[in-house]
Amino acid sequence: MAHTELKFGSGRQAWPFSRGLVTESLVNAGVDAAEAAAAARRVEQQLRQMKRKAVTPEAVHDLMAQVAEDYLGLDVAGRVRAQTPMFIDILVSGKKDSMPFSRGVLARALEDAGLAPREAYAAASDVDTRLRQSGVRSLTGNEVDDLTEQVLAERFGEHMRLTYRYLRLNQGRLGVVSGNLNMPLPFSKGVLVQSLLAAGAAPDVARKVARVTQRDLRGQDDRVVRRAQIREKVEDLLRDEVGPDVSARYRLLRVIRHPPRPLVILLGGVSGTGKSVLAAEIAYRLGIARVVGTDSIREVMRGMISPALLPTLHASTFNAWESLLPPGQLRPEHPDTPLLMAGFREQVQQVSVGLEAVVRRSVKEGTSVLLEGVHLVPGYIRPEDISQALLVPLLVTIRSEDEHRRHFESRDDETGALRAKSRYLRYFREIRVMQDELEELAAREDVPVLDGLTLDDSAEQAVDMILRGVLAALTPEERAEMLGEDADELTLNAQDAEAQDTDAMNAEALE
């Protein structure tokens, strides 16, 4: 005799009774599989004896708990009553409405995160089981995600947890994580192109390498990749496209973009040498977000300190000497060098207080910074004074007096005479003397000097000098960690290439 079909629910909201769901619910309550199957048969038998075509899920839950109490004991019955059985939906609330929790949907999301199908379904089932054992009937999507992250961390480790979090927050975009497994950041093809251009790759090569890198990484199962994977991929492509020198230089430049200690670049030079424009270009090429001009620091200090208290602070560096003249003494048309430099040094010492504060703040925040301005005199801030940072000083000069004058004229036009050339040209002799003195000081302090080339050439030269300065400042441990086992050979090859480039530029300048 055929059994009448049992159904959960009533009317149109009814679906076939499943003894398997009852069995799984009992297993979730800690019942042995064989005992759970036997208890599920008893539940079904009692339901059929009631001769009802449909029964509510809550009624089945109550009956299941009663059977567990009769045959398996009070302890098991308590766990059965406390849980949410498999035949009752757990509702997940979203922004607009609620949907039943689905192991299948979660498993597919975990496959997108890089898990194999079997692993993804097992993890999704674990989440489902924990929810049901806790007795929850409804929760938010964020609560489901939090539990999923916990399960992933326990089963597969922190990298998989962060991968899943990144993908749900960034709608499946490719993510990049550092070796310390911080929260991943979105992969940026534009940032990679910027790095490749700084390494000396031609624009079309840089775009091609970035495009191929993105395509190949997206083809992997893992949607979050480590920076080291990107570096290795890019280096291989660069070696194939343009040779080993650019590939090596790219690896070295990555040290600057992700240094073991904050990078502090000091770009000094007298007025009219193009420091501000050059600083912006260097910062762009090296990915440094913070650029601070010493003129801005001086202006803040002027607002706090009266001219009567520090008159040299309220002058320009090239005429600060006038504040040192004794009362009643006639002002000479041009000062001698000792008087000129005395006024200059006094203002530099005053502004250095603010400069050192900016550097300390950057070190504390772990943020690289590029400082530019006339007050960055070689030797005033030394590496040993800020051992927690990688310090690289540079000096910008313009050899040709005519070219230097043209800089003031073009700046006058660009700013609408806000920085009138007449004022600077009136003190042009003093500015040139200051540059000569700074060059001598740079030679004594072994500070690299940038000649006034075109913007691109100057930026290229500066990046090379910064690269050498960073390499010199790295400890052996930092160098091995950042550059790998072949660090010494790589460094030597890169520096040889840089030396050849510098020699070529100097030869062009002499011609």
Provide the β-strand partners of residue 292: 371
The token duo for 440 is 């001598």
pLDDT in tens, 249-265: 788 887 887 888 999 99
CB 106 within 8 A of CB 124: yes
DSSP state of 11: T
Query: Going by C-beta distance under 8 Å and a sequence separation of 6 or more, which residues neighbour residue 274?
Result: 396, 398, 407, 452, 455, 458
Q: 55, 43, 64, 65: which is closest to 8 by C-alpha?
A: 55
Backbone dihedral angles phi then psi of residue 213, each to the nearest 5 degrees: -60, -45
pLDDT over 70 (residue 220): no
> Contact, 432 vs 272, CB < 8 A?
no
Range 294-321 average pLDDT: 94
What is the SS3 assignment for 177-192? ECCCCCCCEECCHHHH
| Higher per-residue pLDDT: 280 or 11 | 280
**Across the chain, what does the average pLDDT equal?**
85
Q: What is the C-alpha separation between 471 and 496, in angstroms, rounded? A: 13
Phi, psi of 139 (to 5 degrees): -165, 175
Model confidence pTM above 0.75: no
Strand order in the sheet with 263-268: 291-293, 369-372, 263-268, 390-396, 449-450
Q: Is the pLDDT of residue 459 over 50?
A: yes
pLDDT confidence bin for 248, thresholds 50/70/90: confident
The Cβ of residue 346 has, within 10 Å, a number of other Cβ atoms equal to 20
User: What does the pLDDT read at residue 499?
Assistant: 47
| 9-26 pLDDT, tens digit each | 765 667 788 899 999 999
Angle at which helices 141-156 and 158-170 cross, to 10°: 150
For residues 509 and 81, give the distance between their C-alpha atoms in angstroms, rounded to a whole number.
Answer: 87
DSSP assignment of 394-421: EEE----HHHHHHHHHHHHHHTTTTT-H
214-223 LR contacts (CB < 8 Å, sep 24+)? 214/174, 214/187, 214/189, 217/174, 217/187, 218/174, 221/114, 222/114, 222/163, 223/112, 223/113, 223/114, 223/163, 223/166, 223/167, 223/172, 223/174, 223/175
- Phi then psi for residue 264, to 5 deg, are -120, 110
Q: What is the dihedral of CA 491, 492, 494, 496, to 10 degrees?
A: 160
Joined tokens for residue 511 = 């011609």
Which phi and psi (to 5°) does residue 434 adopt? -60, -40
